[in-house]
Structure 1
Amino acid sequence: MSQIKYHIFVFLACFCSLAFAQEESVEDADMLSLRLQNRIEQAKLESDRGDYYNALDNLNKAFEIAEKIEDKASQGKIHTKIAKVQFLVNEQDQANISLNKASQIQREISDYSGLAVTYNIKGVIHSTKGEYQDALEYFTASKNLFEQEDLEEYISEVTLNEAKVFIAEKRYEEAKAQLEKTIILAKKYKQDRLLSSALIQNGKVSSALENDDLALSQAQEGLTIAQENNIVENVNQAYLIISDIHKNKGDFKNSYDFIKRHIELSDSILNVKRENLAQGATGESINKYKDDENAQLLAQIEEVNAESTFTRITTILSIALITILSLLTLSLYKNNNIRLKTNNMLHKKNDELIVAKEKAELASKTKANFLSTVTHELRTPLYAVTGLTNMLLDEEPKEHQIPHLKSLKFSGDYLLTFINDILQINKIEANKVELDPEQFNLKNKIENVMSALGNSANDNDTSLHFDYEKGLPETYIGDQLKISQILINLLGNAIKFTKDGDIWVRAYKIAQKDKMYTLRFEIEDNGIGITKEKQDQMFESFSQGSVQINRKYGGTGLGLSIVKGLIQILKGKIYLKSELGKGTTFFFEIPLEHTESIDEPIVEETKKTNKMEDLDLSDVKILIVEDNKINQMITKKILTKMGLYCDIVDNGEAAVEQVKAVEYNVVLMDIHMPGISGLEATKIIRTFDKELTIFALTAVTLEDKMHEFGEAGFDDIISKPFKQEDFEKKLFAALSGEKIVSSFFS
Structure 2
Amino acid sequence: MKNLKLILLLLCCFAQFGFQDAPISETEPKPAQIKQLLNEAEMSIDRMLFDQAHNQLHKSLELAKRINHKRYIALSSSILTRMYSVQHEYDKGITQLERAISIQREIEDEAGLNYSYIMYGKLLTAKNENDRALKYLNLAQNYYTETENDDQLGIIALNKAIIFMREDKTRDRAMSELNNAGIYLEESPNKYELSRLHYYLARGHIYQGDFQKAEKAALSSLEIASSGNFTGMTLYIYGILSEIEEKRNNPAEALDYLKKMNEVRDAVFSANKEALATEANARFGVDALKSTVDELTLQTAEQERTLKVNKLTTILSVALITILSLLTLSLYKNNNLRARANELLQKKNSELVLAKENAEKASLAKAQFLTTITHELRTPLYAVTGLTHLLLEESPTESQKEHLNSLKFSGEYLLSLINNILDLNKLEANKVEIANSNFDLEKRMSDVLIALKNSADERNTKLHFDFDKSIPEKLGGDPLKISQILINLIGNSIKFTEDGDIWISVKKTKQVDRKVTLLFEIKDNGEGIGKEKQKAIFDSFTQGSTQINRKFGGTGLGLSIVKNLLSLLGSEIDLESELGEGSKFTFELDFEAPEVELKKVIATAKIDQAKITNEIMEDKRILVVEDNKINQMITRKILEKNKVICDVADNGTIAIEKVQNNNFDLILMDIHMPGISGIEATIEIRKFDEFIPIIALTAVTLDDNLDEFYLNGFNDIIPKPYKTEEFFHKINKYLAARETTV
Please report the TM-score for the alignment, with normalisation by the length of structure 2. Answer: 0.47
